[in-house]
Structure 1
Amino acid sequence: MEEQYNNLKIGERGAWVSIIAYLTLSALKLIIGYLSNSEALMADGLNNTTDIIVSVAVLIGLRFSRKPPDEDHPYGHWRAETIASLMASFIMMVVGMQVLYNAGRSIVDFRAETPDALAAWTAVGCALVMYGVYRFNCRLALRINSQAMMAAAKDNLSDAWVSIGAAVGIFGSQFGMPWLDPLAAVVVGFMICRTAWEIFRDATHNLTDGFDEQKLMKLRQTIEEIPGVKALNDIKARVHGNNVLVDVVIYVDPDLNVIESHHITEAIEKRMQEEHGIISVHVHVEPWEK
C-alpha cells in the first residue's frame, strides 16, 4: 500500500508537466491564432485548455486518492480521480461543441480568411513540444505501472497529432483554399468531443462497477492454474480508482486443514500481484464435493 501512495506522488510530476506545457502552449496558440486569423490554431489552443482541465482533474484526483481510508470511506478514496475525470468530460464537451459551432458558422457564412503562415509553424513547434511531453509521461507511466498516467500520455500524443492536423489545414489555406483552416478547426472540434465522450464512457463504466470480460477471463485462468484450486465457483472484479478489486470463491480439497487452505489463498494473492498487478484479492474457500 505504501508503494502505491509513493507511485501517486510520482504520478503527480507527470500531471504538473502536462499542466505547465498546456498552459504555455494554449496561451501561445490562442494569441498567435487570433493575430493571424487562424481558426484552426485557435481551436487547437482551446483543445489544450480542455487538456488543462483534464490534467488538473487528474492532479486533484491523485491528491484525494492519497488520503487513507476513514470511517466514511473504508475502501479509501481511490475513485476521486474517476469522479474528477467525469466532471472534466462535461467541460470538454461544451468546449468542443463551441469550437464546432464557430468553425461551422465560418464555413457556412463564407467568412474564412487565409491565416498567416506563422500560425502553421507555431502548430508544428507545439506538436514537437507535446511529443516530448508524451515521451516523458510514457516513461513515467511505465515506471510506476499506472494506467491513468499512460492514458494521459496517449492524450499528449493525440494532441501532438491535432497540432499537425491544424498545421496541414493552415498550410493548405495558403494555396488559395482558405476554407481549409476552418475545416481543420471542425476536425479539432470533433476530436475534442470524441475525447470527452471516451473519458465520460470510461468513467461511468468504472463508477458503475463495470469490468472488461476478457480481463476477467484472464484472471480466472490465472487462478485455475494455481495448485490446490479444484475449481472456481465465482469471480468478480471492479475498478476502484487505479486499483482493481477482486472477489473470488474457490473449491479446495475438503480434507485440507485451515492452514493448508490459507496457503492456497496466499498463493492466489501472490500470483495476482505478480502477473496482473492486483494487490486487493478477497478469496472465499469452499469444500470441493466429489
Structure 2
Amino acid sequence: MKSIHDFELPENLKKTLSKAIKLEWITLFYLLSVVILMYLVMGSSQAMKSAWLEDVLSLIPSIAFLISTKIFRKKPNKEFPYGYHRVFSISFLTGAVALLGMGIFLVFDSSMSLIKAEHPTIGNKMFFGQQIWMGWIMIAVLLYSALPAMVLGFKKLPLAKELHNKILFTDASAQKADYMTAFAAILGIIGVGIGYWWADAVGALFISFSVLKDGVNHVKTSILDLMDRHPKTIKEQKDDEKIEEIKQLVTSWEWVKDANVRFRENGQVYFGEIAYIPNGDIDLDQLHQGYEILRNHHWKIHDFTIGPVKELPKW
C-alpha cells in the first residue's frame, strides 16, 4: 500500500516544481536589482515611493515559496504526524497579511500627501556632461521593473495551476499585473513634469488601492483555506471537481450502497474522510483495494480515512 510517508509529486510535476523554483530564484535576484535601482532614483516622488515599496513587498512571496519547497518534502513524524504540507498555506497567509498591511499604509501615506498638497520636485542631473531630467531615468527604471516581471508572471501562472500552489499563483498574478503599477507611476511622473503636482499623489493612490485590494482578497482566501473549507480551484475559486469524482468513484463500487466524502486543503494536497454504507458484508481486501484506487486517482488526494457507517454523516 502506498504510504503517506512516501509522498512524491508525479514525475511531470517534479519537473514543473523544478522550473518554478528556478523562476523564483531568477525573480528574487531580478527584484533585488529593481529595488536598488528604484531606491537610487525615486527622489521625492510619492508614486515612485509606492512602486518601490510594492517591489520590496514582492520579494516576500518568492522567498516564502523557496523556503516552503524545502520544508514540505519532510516526512511526517511524531511531532508532525500529518506532515509539513500546510507550510504553503502558512506562506500564503504571511504574504497576504504583509500585502494587506502595506496596502493600508500606502493608502494612508498617499492620501496625506494629497491632502497636504505636497509638491514633489523632479530635478536634473549631469550624465556624461549632459543635463538629463530625472523623470526620464525614473520612467526607464519603472519600465525595467514592469516588463521582465510581466514575462516572469506569465511563465509562472500555468506552473502554479499545475502544482495547485497558491503562494506561487499570488506571486505570478502580482507580477503579471506589475505593468499597471509602473504605468500609474509613469503618469504621475509625467504629470509632475508638466506642472500637475497632484498627478504624483494620484498615481501613488492608484497603486495603493491596487495593493490594498489584492491584500484583502488574498487574506480572505488564505483564512478560508485554513478554516478547512471545501477545496477550491486556484484561479476561478470554484469547488474542485476532484472531490465529486471521488464520491462518484466510491459509490460506483458494488460493495458500496451509498457514500459521502469531505476534504480540505493542506497546502498543495487534500486531506479528508470517506464514509460509506456497506452493501453486504465488510470485506477488508475490498476495502484495501478501494483505498489504493483512491490514493492513485490523483496526486492531490493525499491523506484520508475510509470507513463503514450505518448512517451517512451530513457533511
* 1:231 corresponds to: 258
Aligned with 2:239: secondary structure?
helix
Match of 2:39 among 25, 30, 46: 30
User: What is the TM-score normalised by the length of structure 2?
Assistant: 0.77
Q: Which range is displaced more, 125-134 or 251-260?
A: 251-260
Conserved in 2, the CA contact under 8 Å of 1:107 and 1:179? yes
Conserved in 1, the CA contact under 8 Å of 2:96 and 2:222? no
Aligned with 1:129: secondary structure?
helix
The AA in structure 2 aligned to 1:211 is H
Q: Which structure 2 residues correspond to residues 154-193 of structure 1 after superposition, within 5 A?
A: 154-193=173-212
Find the aligned partners of 2:231 and 2:283 in 1 and give their Cα distance.
35
The AA in structure 2 aligned to 1:267 is I
Conserved in 1, the CA contact under 8 Å of 2:99 and 2:215? yes
**Unaligned 5+ runs, structure 2:** 1-6, 123-134, 233-237
The AA in structure 1 aligned to 2:160 is A
- 1:110 deviates by 1.4
- 1:92 deviates by 3.3
- 1:44 deviates by 0.6
Q: Which range is displaced more, 194-203 or 180-189?
A: 194-203
Check if 1:45 corresponds to 2:52: yes
- 1:143 deviates by 6.0
- 1:95 deviates by 3.0
Find the aligned partners of 1:204 and 1:53 in 2 and give their Cα distance.
18
- 1:15 deviates by 2.7
- 1:172 deviates by 3.8
- 1:212 deviates by 4.6
Find the aligned partners of 1:10 and 1:75 in 2 and give their Cα distance.
27
Q: Which structure 2 residues correspond to residues 99-110 of structure 1 after superposition, within 5 A?
A: 99-110=106-117
* 1:209 corresponds to: 228
Find the aligned partners of 1:218 and 1:263 in 2 and give their Cα distance.
19
Conserved in 2, the CA contact under 8 Å of 1:112 and 1:182? no
- 1:142 deviates by 5.5
Check if 1:219 corresponds to 2:243: yes
Change beyond 3 A, Cα 1:87–1:147:
closer
Conserved in 1, the CA contact under 8 Å of 2:163 and 2:268? no
* 1:249 corresponds to: 275
Conserved in 2, the CA contact under 8 Å of 1:86 and 1:199? yes
**Unaligned 5+ runs, structure 1:** none
**Deviation digits for residues 208-230 of structure 1 (CA, Å, limit 9, x no counterpart):** 22225852676135422553143
Change beyond 3 A, Cα 1:282–1:151:
farther
The AA in structure 2 aligned to 1:207 is L
**Deviation digits for residues 220-272 of structure 1 (CA, Å, limit 9, x no counterpart):** 3542255314322x32211112211121112342157333344344333333x
Change beyond 3 A, Cα 1:147–1:80:
closer
The AA in structure 2 aligned to 1:62 is T
Find the aligned partners of 2:84 and 2:240 in 1 and give their Cα distance.
24
Conserved in 1, the CA contact under 8 Å of 2:86 and 2:266? yes
- 1:93 deviates by 3.4
Find the aligned partners of 2:169 and 2:192 in 1 and give their Cα distance.
35
Conserved in 1, the CA contact under 8 Å of 2:265 and 2:271? yes
Conserved in 2, the CA contact under 8 Å of 1:173 and 1:179? yes
RMSD value over aligned CA atoms?
Answer: 3.0
* 1:2 corresponds to: 8
Aligned length in residues? 283
Conserved in 2, the CA contact under 8 Å of 1:224 and 1:231? no
The AA in structure 2 aligned to 1:3 is L
Check if 1:16 corresponds to 2:19: no
Conserved in 2, the CA contact under 8 Å of 1:114 and 1:181? no
The AA in structure 2 aligned to 1:47 is E
User: What is the TM-score normalised by the length of structure 1?
Assistant: 0.82
Change beyond 3 A, Cα 1:279–1:10:
farther
Aligned with 1:85: secondary structure?
helix
Q: Which structure 2 residues correspond to residues 90-105 of structure 1 after superposition, within 5 A?
A: 90-105=97-112
The AA in structure 2 aligned to 1:194 is K
Find the aligned partners of 2:196 and 2:275 in 1 and give their Cα distance.
65
Aligned with 2:94: secondary structure?
helix
* 1:80 corresponds to: 87
